[in-house]
Amino acid sequence: MILVINLNASLDKKYEIEDIEKGKVMRARSVENTPGGKGLHVANVATILKEDCIATGLLGGKSGEFIENKLKEYGIKQDFVKINGETRSCLAIITDDFTQTEILEPGPEVSDKELHKFLDKYMDLIKNSNVIVASGSVPRNVPTSFYRRLIEMTNTQEKKFLLDTSGELLKEGIKGKPYFIKPNKDEIEALTGRKISSTQEAIEEIKRFQSQGIEFVVISLGAEGSIAGYMGKFYKVSVPNVKAINPVGSGDSYVAGVAVAIQRKYEIEDILKFASACGTANAMEKESGFVTEYVVNELINKIRVEEL
């Protein structure tokens, strides 16, 4: 089973308007409310691909109830810890020039008691899970070392932990030695202060991560594909040109593809093809964190994996 952690879920509100003018009253043509959060995108894609998956994390208030109900509609298994705070809302404002402006709330404040309750639930859930995915940010009062703690707990159970986050959470999480990370070029440059301007420089960064105990590292290059390192070998992954409608959630869909492929015991080149097909398929959809199985399967044979 795949266990997906989304600690800072959100109620995503998408507004379509003509334009944004500071200090003016603006009326939305349409409003769409959906469950949000990187982990929920991962769980949605894994569920669409018919893999056994369960989402966990922290939910509270009316927004949390909305998310729970929507996940049931989507057929996503869930086992969240209820908190007193209100799950955050995140706003995306899309104007007629296709510019998207986002306003992201920081999330509720979580008590130590609620965190300990989550840790107890987590220990129970990983017993029946082979692959664990942690994605995105954390709410207030959750320490930046929290993912590291989860990783270390997972490693004692000899399960594979996939970490997809950034900033201090990534910096601290790496110390726990997750099985897999997928930072993009900008995230690595922000983390290390070193520029990546060539394939060789990307490989050197992968080697540094692997020297810290991380077995599987992918550096995302967006539309240019990715560079991956695994078991002493390095790969350049190229994706086909497609008509991108909404790239938001493509990274999450990629991570879902990695989790599903690992669960299915695919070889490394097939993992990279499958994950890249999932990420690309998401970009072709209007909805974030969504793919169709047919499109994923069509794209797999169009992904090129070259050993470097």
Q: pTM to 2 decimals? A: 0.93
Task: Locate all alpha helices (DSSP H) within the chain, ordered by sequence.
Answer: 38-48, 61-74, 112-126, 146-156, 167-174, 185-192, 199-211, 250-263, 268-283, 293-300
Question: 41-61 burial, b if ≥16 CB within 10 A, otherwise e?
Answer: bbbbbbbbbebebbbbbbbbb
List the chain pLDDT tens, one digit each, 308 residues: 999 999 999 999 989 999 988 898 989 999 989 999 999 999 999 999 999 999 999 999 999 999 999 999 999 999 999 999 999 999 989 898 878 888 988 889 999 999 999 999 999 999 999 999 999 999 999 999 999 999 999 999 989 999 999 999 999 999 999 999 999 888 888 888 888 888 899 999 999 999 999 999 999 876 677 999 999 899 999 998 888 888 888 999 999 999 999 999 999 999 999 999 999 999 998 888 899 999 999 999 999 999 98
- The domains located in the chain, with CATH, are 2-307 (3.40.1190.20)
- Report which of 69, 146, 137, 77 is spatially closest to residue 108, judged by C-alpha positions: 137
Distance CA 104, CA 88 (A): 8
State how beta strands 100-104 and 77-78 pair. unpaired
**Termini Cα distance of the chain:** 33
Measured CA to CA, the distance from residue 272 to residue 278 in angstroms comes to 10
